[in-house]
Amino acid sequence: MIGRSTPVRVTLLALGAWLAVTLVSRIGFGIVSPVEVVFEGVTRFLGVPWVFNLIHAAPWDFDRYVKFIAFGVIVLAWLIVMWWVTRRLWIWRSAWGTFATLAAVVVIPLLLLGLGVLPLMGLGVFGTATLNRAWPPVPLFSASVAALLAWSSLVLMWPDRAARTDVSRRAWFNVMSRTVLGLALGASALSRAFIARAQALQGALFDAVRGISPAITPLGGHYVVSKNFVSPRVREGQWRLEIAGLVDTPLTLDLDALRALPSVTRPTTLMCVSNQVGGDLIGTYEWTGVRLADLLELTGIRHGASEIVLYGADNYTDSFPLDVGLRDGTIVAYLHNGESLTRDHGFPARVLVPGIYGMKNVKWVERIELAEDDHIGYWQARGWSDEAIIKTLSRIDMDQATRISEGRWAIGGVAFAGIRGIRSVEISIDGGDSWQDAVLEDARGPYAWSRWTAVLDEPTLLQGVIVMVRATDGTGDVQTEIVAPPLPDGASGYHRRLVTPSA
Ligand SMILES: Nc1nc2c(c(=O)[nH]1)N[C@H]1C(S)=C(S)[C@@H](COP(=O)(O)O)O[C@H]1N2
Ligand SMILES: [Mo]
């Protein structure tokens, strides 16, 4: 049964198992894999935008497969080297000694990687500074150690080698199983401590930076935009929401009926299409309301419906495609930050639709109509974009840095890319020649902006320094530096600001 090709087979098996575990935990649980950490680091370290250009030129979502294939090749090479080394190892006559030798072969390269190579690349210990996730690499690196130990023991126990050692399979199994168990327990305790510490440090940093936007905009702090000189006053008792058009059973709700339906609460960032680079027509409230998908569940959707048209009490209309309306984040909201909507924000109810600009988030909404064809809304008739997909934005919130420790000063701001999310934020102090990673705070939810902070050292700052910021969205696309005005589909370009130390 066991022939010459066994080591190769065992190696491939171990590699396959390892990749399977990594893929399942990535796709199923969103746990960032060491594959991505290393890939991210290598590409960033080598500064090879062409790698990404190549990947993004592919017509399908090639990106993640390239990462896994590339990393698979690296792991395979490593396994082959280890197999070669273990074959030539001096095998002691005790299970522990043999085990220690093997463990060193496996663990030392991992420690070198985690404590040496990755920090040197600026990715933090075990890659903890990457991808906005401080902890997942730690348990996964530990799992990799365990998997590789298991593999190495298989190599050791293949017959022609076993024949030359006094270590019994049972002794070997005992040692190995105990170590793997210990490793797993230790790693989970370690990573829990790590999470707590990282969160505390991060929280303290964001609290310390003066002038940074709060993650949730306090009531009254949100921008207000409407076509009206004075906001319409809608009487609660007279207000009705009609859902009509291509539905099976049209529905009319008063405010009590809307409030009685199951609701959701979501931090959602709204941004006006006319927001300038660095502008403040952006804010994040926690909105509460009923999912539009749930409302359309009640009415049914007739064949042929492809567009949702909204009508406000101020003769305002706008529309978006049906599939955008059916997104989880699209709601008919009646509370912001736990309180009834103010008149300016659309009392008694308004629509929130993540991913597209503010104008599509119709306030004082009275009628939701399913239609067959696209509809030209109020602003579209005036030349503004109909698709209105939010462009990636990043903003520096202050022009005075906060001193956080001896010789170190911090600035910060927000970044937003609609439903694509923010993967990373970088700043440049040399006009864009080089970029340094900012610390990213976890967004409060998939529809909310992310806050960032970055540290500047004193000599840089003293004379005043022009800081530039750019973000990378959740799909890996870097914010465009091409300058565009707000009309017709939103401003773009990098925000820059002269920063000095605070008095
Ligand atoms: N009924 C109605 N809804 C409207 C508008 C309007 O003029 N009338 N303005 C839109 C625009 S352009 C923006 S940016 C957002 C602003 O929402 P906010 O004032 O709650 O921040 O509302 C949108 N919804
Ligand atoms: Mo807007």
What is the bridge-based pairing of β-strands 365-371 and 241-245? parallel
Identify the nearest ligand to the CA of 487 by its number.
Answer: 2
CA 365 – CA 318 distance, rounded (Å): 10
Ligand 1 contacts (CB < 6 A) are 222-228, 270, 272, 312, 314, 316, 345, 358-359, 361-364
Distance 261 CA to ligand 1 centre (A): 25
Task: Write the DSSP symbol of residue 477.
Answer: P
288 Cβ contact list (under 8 Å, min separation 6): 263, 264, 265, 266, 333, 334, 335, 336, 338
The closest alpha carbon to 256, from 245, 268, 241, belongs to 241
Distance 231 CA to ligand 1 centre (A): 10
| pLDDT for position 354 | 96
Exposure on the CB side of residue 63, measured as CA atoms within 13 A: 12
Q: Is the Cα dihedral 120, 126, 130, 134 positive or negative?
A: negative
Nearest CA to ligand 1 atom 2: 363
Distance 356 CA to ligand 1 centre (A): 12
pLDDT digits (tens, 9 = 90+) for 434-490: 998 898 888 999 999 999 999 898 888 998 999 999 999 999 999 999 999 999 999
Nearest CA to ligand 1 atom 20: 345
CA 320 – CA 131 distance, rounded (Å): 32
Mean pLDDT confidence for 11-32:
63
| pLDDT for position 74 | 65
> In a mutational test of the pocket of ligand 1, which residue from 314, 363, 386, 449 has the highest number of ligand atoms less than 8 Å from its CB?
363
Matching CATH number, 393-501, of 2.40.50.140, 2.40.160.60, 3.30.365.10, 2.60.40.650: 2.60.40.650
Task: Assess contact for 333 and 259: CB atoms under 8 A.
Answer: no
CA quadruple 443, 118, 479, 447: dihedral, nearest 10: -20
pLDDT digits (tens, 9 = 90+) for 329-339: 999 999 999 99
Distance 248 CA to ligand 2 centre (A): 33
416 compared with 96, residue with greater pLDDT: 416
> In a mutational test of the pocket of ligand 1, which residue from 361, 386, 390 has the highest number of ligand atoms less than 8 Å from its CB?
361
Burial class of residue 249, CB neighbours in 10 A (0-12, 13-18, 19+): exposed
pLDDT above 70: residue 308: yes
Q: Delimit the domains of the chain by residue range.
A: 6-204, 219-382, 393-501
pLDDT digits (tens, 9 = 90+) for 203-229: 788 989 999 999 999 999 999 999 998
| Position in ligand 1 atom list of the atom nearest CA 272 | 14
The closest alpha carbon to 37, from 105, 134, 116, belongs to 134
**pLDDT band per the 50, 70, 90 thresholds, residue 169:** low
Nearest CA to ligand 1 atom 5: 226
88 compared with 442, residue with greater pLDDT: 442
Which CATH code for domain 219-382?
A: 3.90.420.10
3-state secondary structure of 406: coil
Q: State percent of the chain over pLDDT 90.
A: 53
Distance 269 CA to ligand 2 centre (A): 13
Model pTM?
A: 0.70
pLDDT digits (tens, 9 = 90+) for 327-364: 999 999 999 999 999 999 999 999 999 999 999 999 99
| pLDDT for position 233 | 95
Which CA distances in Å does 476 have to 56, 329, 420, 472, 491?
Answer: 9, 22, 9, 6, 20
Nearest CA to ligand 1 atom 10: 359
pLDDT above 50: residue 243: yes
Distance 274 CA to ligand 2 centre (A): 6
